[in-house]
Amino acid sequence: MAKHIKHIATKLIHAGEPEPLIHGAVSMPIFQSSTFEYTGQGRYHDLRYIRLNNTPNHIALHQKLASIENAEAALVTASGMGAISTTLLTLLAPGDHFLAQACLYGGTHDFITKDFAALGISFDFIDGEDPGSWEGKVRSNTKAIFVETMTNPLLQVADLKAVVEFARGHDLVSMIDNTFASPINFRPAEWGFDLSLHSCTKYLNGHSDIVAGAVIGRADLIERITHKLNHLGASLDPHACFLLHRGIKTLGVRMQCQSESALNLSKYLENHRTIEKVNYPGLESHPGYLRACELFDGFSGMLSFEVKGGMEAAESFIRNTTLPVVAPSLGGVETLITRPATTSHSGMPPDERRALGISDSLIRVSVGIEATEDLIEDFDQALKMLP
Ligand SMILES: *Cc1c(COP(=O)(O)O)cnc(C)c1O
């Protein structure tokens, strides 16, 4: 009898699992075989080979990822950037124009600003919160629009419904980097996005032990992107597939815990006398709060804040905490803390950084699954040590 699956928590465990179980194995085995016996395939892309993204480990992940975002199809890649660059190279050709949200993940921003000119692709950045300004940027050769579910590190929420509407009105492919929200809190296909992109390195895997990516969405587009990936070769290794598959199963419980903890930590920080400002979309004081409430099922585990006393105070606070690991990246079970001016946004000229609202004293936290009380106590003792 077919399994009855309705809720995402159940899909995380059961969607895409082999039926019947392979030799009865409850956990998906790793198929560590580069090539597979020829069984009469007529097309190059159908040959079974790791680089062609079609081993049993890939197929199970593709089905699971498509299912949890309620989308038609999915593709895993060797990294989040592998997913983003392969998708953009599939959809854009010399002579095309592209619209992207101004405050993007550093790697995506660099790819667009440093590599597009040589490829003959032009672009404009847009303010995701101001749909009225987009009409002036679109051209007859514009092919796609790219936004992020929540921006890094200020957690701004673009007008995502307007993005889909605008894309439909202008015949653009709508793309969203959904890494920060994860499929638990936002499922782009349900809101009409053509493609959702992920760095599975972050929440989907959740254990800071692999680099991986995914593209999820319309089947016709995923097929074209798969063929491009087959040529470019940014395929995910079966062992990394196995770890990602294992990680995804606990995404629901991890994200629920991280969202709850981040909200409590944000509220604690917002009421502390040494804190200038807290950015978390689950706080009523956040400019995107109402939009986030409408779009998201939860607000995720990312927050940022400014301490009074500038960069020195921020540095000393980070030094005085004992639980968070000082490191870039995010979405793992352990709490990570960084100052974006020195990590994710260090490549950006200081003036540009400040214009975007990223001050030198801004601290970003990726909340893990430790007890919130322990995190608050640790932050509290570190804040008490500030002058
Ligand atoms: C980390 C990240 C990426 C890049 O992913 P990698 O797995 O490091 O290649 C892209 N987008 C966002 C929002 C990210 O946080």
What separation in Å is there between the alpha carbon of 106 and the centre of ligand 1? 9
**In the structure encoding, which two tokens stand for residue 72, read together?**
């038609």
Give yes or no: residues 300 and 205 share one domain.
no
User: In total, how many domains does the chain have?
Assistant: 2
- CA dist 339 and 318 (Å) reads 9
Q: Which atom of ligand 1 is nearest to the CA of 213?
A: 7
> If pLDDT is split at 50, 70 and 90, which confidence band does 1 have?
low
CATH assignment at residue 303:
3.90.1150.10
Instruction: Specify the pairing of strand 195-199 against strand 173-177.
Output: parallel
> If pLDDT is split at 50, 70 and 90, which confidence band does 256 have?
very high
What separation in Å is there between the alpha carbon of 248 and the centre of ligand 1? 17
- Closest Cα to atom 2, ligand 1: which residue? 199
What separation in Å is there between the alpha carbon of 15 and the centre of ligand 1? 25
Active-site residue, 177 included? yes
Active-site residue, 51 included? yes
Q: Is residue 274 part of a domain?
A: yes
Q: Does the predicted model carry a pTM greater than 0.95?
A: yes
> If pLDDT is split at 50, 70 and 90, which confidence band does 2 have?
confident
User: How confident is the model at residue 387, as a pLDDT?
Assistant: 78
Give yes or no: residues 136 and 218 share one domain.
yes
C-alpha distances in Å from residue 111, one per residue of 78, 234, 372: 17, 16, 37
Which one of 101, 175, 199 would you pick to mutate in the ligand 1 pocket, going by the greatest count of ligand atoms within 8 A of its CB? Answer: 199
Active-site residue, 202 included? yes
- CA dist 248 and 329 (Å) reads 18
Query: At which of 227, 248, 269 does a domain end?
Result: 248
Give yes or no: residues 374 and 335 share one domain.
yes
Q: Is residue 3 part of a domain?
A: no
Q: Map residue 12 onto helix, strand or coil.
A: helix
Give yes or no: residues 46 and 67 share one domain.
yes
- Closest Cα to atom 6, ligand 1: which residue? 80
Residues 333-349: what's their mean pLDDT? 88
Q: What is the pLDDT of residues 287-334, one digit of tens each?
A: 999 999 999 999 999 999 999 999 999 999 999 999 999 999 999 999
Taking Cα atoms as reference points, which of 149, 147, 109 lies closest to residue 131?
147
Residues 138-143: what's their mean pLDDT? 98
Domain range for 324 is 252-384
What separation in Å is there between the alpha carbon of 163 and the centre of ligand 1? 21
- Closest Cα to atom 7, ligand 1: which residue? 80
- CA dist 292 and 298 (Å) reads 8
Give yes or no: residues 244 and 281 share one domain.
no
Residues with CB under 6 A from ligand 1: 79-81, 105, 107, 148, 152, 177, 179-180, 199, 201-202, 211, 213
